Amino acid sequence: MLLSIRHLEKRYADHVALNDVNLEIPKGKIFGLLGPNGAGKTSLIRIITQITGPDAGEIYFDGEPLRLEHADQIGYLPEERGLYKKMKVGEQLLYLAQLKGMRKEEAIAKLKEWFIRLDIKEWWNKPVNDLSKGMQQKTQFIATVVHEPKLLILDEPFSGFDPINANMLKDEILAIKERGTTVLFSTHRMDSVEELCDEIALINHAQVVLSGNKDEVQNRYKKNQFAIRFEGELGSISGIEVVSSQTGNAILRFSEGISTNEAIAKIIQQVRLLEFKEVIPSFNDIFIQVVSETN
């Protein structure tokens, strides 16, 4: 485990932000932190980044109790992000890299690699003010990863990104994961969860209400439903309930004790089966279901 969070509590004057939060974030995985606005995601992230402290509970980073020095091994891209407007791109990134404990020469070398990699060589001496929003986002991303952190925390990384930059970001996140970095990423965008995450946790009302491996969670929320495409007329079949149907398409639910093979055997007696697929619940559906259940 790269990060173990145990019995974390955080209270503000008028509300509880985190209530007995426990999470295990495995090394080298992409961990999705999901939850509606105000659920406590940002509070949790700010405690991990040591911007604020918890009221109770412990955090272990790579096996050690979280300390100030660990800040240099964490890269953080906050949801609300900005840059010094009047500084030049290069010197600004150099400053931020040095604040993360990099030596100057080392930082310059690494930054140059990133400038070449993202094809922005000519930006080094540009003031941030002259950059477009997309360009600023690339700059911010470099600032987050240049010191090669063990843990990369991305809070709503895709918000405000255009599709091209969003794709670039996705590729970079996957590449970083390949190099062994753990990524903790908080989002509303369920499509990116499905594409990127290995593990997820859903927070609602200051508590973890769902967590686990992505596939395992999806399996848990399967409703034993199957989608079929067919030719012919589908009548009623014993042990099979038609949840919905349109011409040539239907969603079916099988009763307990009927195996897929038996069901298929029954279906092909009536229609010519073109396609048969298990309905995997989308994270969007799971999200809505769990949040409304726990509200």
Partner 1 sequence: MNKILLVIQREYVTRVLKKSFWISSLLAPVLITAIYAIPIWLAMKDKEQKQIAIFDQSHLLKSTDLQDKELVFTFTNIPEQAFKTQFAKSGYDAFVSIPVDVLANPKGVHIYSSKNIGLTLKESVERLIQNKVRQELMYKAGISEKVYEDTQVDIDSETITVSENGGETSSSSAGAMILAGIMGLILYVTLLLYGSQVMNGVIEEKSSRIIEVIISSVKPYQLMLGKIIGVGLVGLTQFVLWIVLTIGLTQVTGKLYASKTKAIAQMSQLEHGKAADDMAKAMQDSPMGEVTKVLESTNIPLILVAFLFYFFVGYLLFSSLFAAIGSAVESATEAQQFTFIVMIPIIVSFLMAQNTMQDPDSTIAFWASMIPFTSPINMMVRLPYGVPMWELALSMGLLVFGFLACSWISARIYRVGILMYGKKATWKELSKWLFYKG
CA distance 280 to 223: 8
- Say how far apart CA 89 and CA 80 lie, in whole Å: 19
Which range of residues in 74-82, 110-118, 251-259, 262-270 is near partner 1 by CB under 8 A? 74-82
Select the span of 1-9, 90-98, 162-170, 173-181 touching partner 1 (CB under 8 A): 90-98
Short-list 72, 73, 94, 74, CA closest to 83: 94
Q: Which residue is associated with the tokens 């999806």?
A: 218
The residue among 143 and 291 lying less far from partner 1, judged by its C-beta, is 143
Contact 1, 27 (CB under 8 A): yes
Q: Judged by CB under 8 A, does residue 70 bind partner 1?
A: no
CB 239 within 8 A of CB 73: no
Nearer to partner 1, 93 or 250 (CB): 93
* The binder of partner 1 chosen from 82, 163, 235, 257 (CB under 8 A): 82
**Adjacent-strand bridge partners of 225:** 253
Q: From residue 34 to residue 53, what is the string marking binding to partner 1 with x (rule CB under 8 A)? A: ------------x--xxxxx
> Contact between 81 and partner 1 (CB under 8 A)?
yes
Q: What would the two tokens of residue 21 be?
A: 């939060």
Is residue 74 near partner 1 by the rule CB under 8 A?
yes
Q: Is 93 within 8 Å of 58 (Cβ atoms)?
A: no
Is 3 an interacting residue with respect to partner 1 (CB under 8 A)?
A: no
Please identify, using beta-carbon distances, which residue of 146 and 197 lies nearer to partner 1: 146
Nearer to partner 1, 50 or 270 (CB): 50
Closest CB to partner 1 among 96 and 206?
Answer: 96
Identify the CA nearest to 108 among candidates 86, 90, 89: 90
Residue 87 binding partner 1, by CB under 8 A: yes
Q: Which of 8, 34, 39, 83 binds partner 1 (CB under 8 A)?
A: 83
265 binding partner 1? (CB under 8 A): no
Of the pair 135, 264, the CB lying nearest partner 1 is at 135
Site track 100-129 with partner 1 (rule: CB under 8 A), x = hit: x-----------------------------
**23 contacts 211 by C-beta, under 8 angstroms:** yes
According to DSSP, the β-strands at 151-155 and 182-187 are parallel
> DSSP per residue over 6-45, as a string?
EEEEEE-SS-EEEEEEEEEE-TT-EEEEE--TTSSHHHHH
Of 65-73, 186-194, 212-220, 247-255, the window that binds partner 1 (rule: CB under 8 A) is: 65-73
Helix H or strand E encompassing 276: strand 272-278
Residue 85 touches partner 1, criterion: CB under 8 A: yes
CA 132 to chain CA centroid, Å, is 26
Binding site residues, partner 1, CB under 8 A: 13, 46, 49-53, 55, 68, 71-72, 74, 76-78, 80-87, 95-96, 98-100, 140, 143-144
